[in-house]
Amino acid sequence: MNRIPLVAGNWKMNKTVPESLALAADIVAGLPRLDDVEVALLPPFTSLWPVSTSGIGDTGVVLGAQDLYWEVSGAYTGEISPAMLSGWCRYALIGHSERRRLFGETDDTVNRKVQAALAHDLRPMVAVGETLEENESGRTEEVLSRQVPAGLAGLDEAQGLQVVMAYEPVWAIGTGRTATPEHAEQSCALIRRLVAQALGPAVAESVRVLYGGSVTPANAAELMAQANVDGALVGGASLVAADFLAIVAAAAPPLA
């Protein structure tokens, strides 16, 4: 199975609208042909629409939201509904560890959001990963074995084919402490096995499992060369066009 690698830039709570437009323009200007790698940008909500109408659609670059709420509309002050994103946004990142840790997301809310995204033609990018303490006490497998099936609960095979998984060890996010390629591979392979158990072998074979956590131009190629690592979810390095472009280049298979 030839899984097209996906490199997604999670801008988090960074960039004003003018800054976002400038960064998107710099990324687009430096992009290679996109036949063999998919590139997604996840600006903050205020910048999503401006970036989408700035001409990136013609380049093959797609957009993702950093989160969403599961209701379609109503009295939910401050929230963004899947219906507001549907039709022009391709992905929705769900369950990022910052959402889990700082904003009270649970496996249950992650699953509700995954279902809501799918109901509105948004492809969920489901983030999972262990904390430092869980890692050091040898509980990575236990944590992933809980988070993956909980996040994907209730999905059928067709829905599963829309999902992207992101393995993001919490201790590697924003710390400069990247997982070793071996650890990334082991965990991504485990996630694929868990997807197989939850949604069957066809979904497991085609689902892309990204690695995220201090991905840089220096370590991207080695991480993405692992058999079960199908791309990268990039935070800090996605805010610098040259760095993000170098990571995109590292994802493309070498020319024959």
* Contacting residues for 204 by C-beta, under 8 A, at least 6 apart: 192, 193, 195, 196
Q: Can you tell me which residue has the tokens 């998107």? A: 24
Residue 105 is a catalytic residue = no
The residue among 159 and 214 lying less far from ligand PGA, judged by its C-beta, is 214
Catalytic residue flag (residue 96): yes
Any residues with CB less than 8 A from the CB of 73 and at least 6 apart, and which? 81, 83
Out of 96, 98, 130, 185, the active site residue is 96
- Continuous segment of H or E residues that includes residue 142: helix 140-151
**Pairing between β-strand 91-94 and β-strand 208-212 as defined by DSSP bridges:** unpaired
Q: Interface with ligand PGA by CB under 6 A: which residues?
A: 10, 168, 173-174, 212-215, 233-237
Residue number with the smallest Cβ distance to ligand PGA = 235
Distance of alpha carbon 207 from its chain centroid, rounded? 12
Q: Tell me if 210 sits within 8 A of 233, measured CB to CB.
A: yes
Smallest distance from ligand PGA to CB 105, Å: 14
CB of 48 to ligand PGA, least distance (A): 17
Query: Min. distance of Cβ 211 from ligand PGA in angstroms?
Result: 10
Nearest approach in angstroms of CB 73 to ligand PGA is 29
Backbone φ and ψ of 109, nearest 5°: -70, -35
Which of 110, 199 has the CB closer to ligand PGA? 110
Of 98, 105, 130, 168, the catalytic one is 168
Closer of 117 and 234 to ligand PGA (Cβ)? 234
Q: Which are the catalytic amino acids? A: 96, 168
